[in-house]
Amino acid sequence: MTTKNPSPKVLAAPPKDPLAENDLAFLQMRRRFLRFWKIAGVSTLVFLVALFSWLYFKVPNLVNPFHVQRQIESNALTPSALKVMAALMPLMMVLAFFLSVAIILFGFSAYANENRYLRILDSLLAERKPK
């Protein structure tokens, strides 16, 4: 008795993408940001290290408090330099506070993005669970 090969089963069409269009666009945007960050982040770090090094050797009064302390103790600072430092100190403190606020706001933005990632992943996992 010969058995016929069973006819090949017709494969069902793949399920529709469970992600909404705006979620797909969001994920693509995040992928672009991640690719860009590798270049931008390293470039920014290199720039900051180079800037700090240059300031440390060329203008130590701006970045080296020990140098300033030695100059104050030896009365090597001119009155005009002291006036400039006194005028710039409040400006630098305000700038430091704004920078701190900006970092915290970026943290909230990153938190919101991660929250959205988790919602997207949760929706994908919920659809794939066997019922």
pLDDT digits (tens, 9 = 90+) for 96-124: 999 999 999 999 998 888 888 888 888 88
91 in the same domain as 63: no
Based on the structure, what is the number of domains in the chain?
A: 2
Q: Cα separations (Å) of 55 from 24, 44, 60, 61?
A: 45, 16, 6, 9
> Does residue 43 sit in the same domain as residue 69?
yes
Residue 4 placed within a domain: no
> Within 13 A of 24's CA, how many CA atoms are on the CB side?
5
Whether residue 63 is found in the same domain as residue 47: yes
Q: Is the pLDDT confidence value at 70 over 90?
A: yes
Q: Is residue 49 part of a domain?
A: yes
d(CA 112, CA 125): 20
Determine the structural domain holding residue 117 and report its residue range: 79-126
Residue 101 lies in a domain: yes
The pTM score is 0.60
Is the pLDDT reported for residue 129 higher than 80? no
Distances (CA, A) of 94 to 15, 51, 52, 63, 90: 55, 21, 20, 17, 6
Residues 98 and 122 in one domain: yes
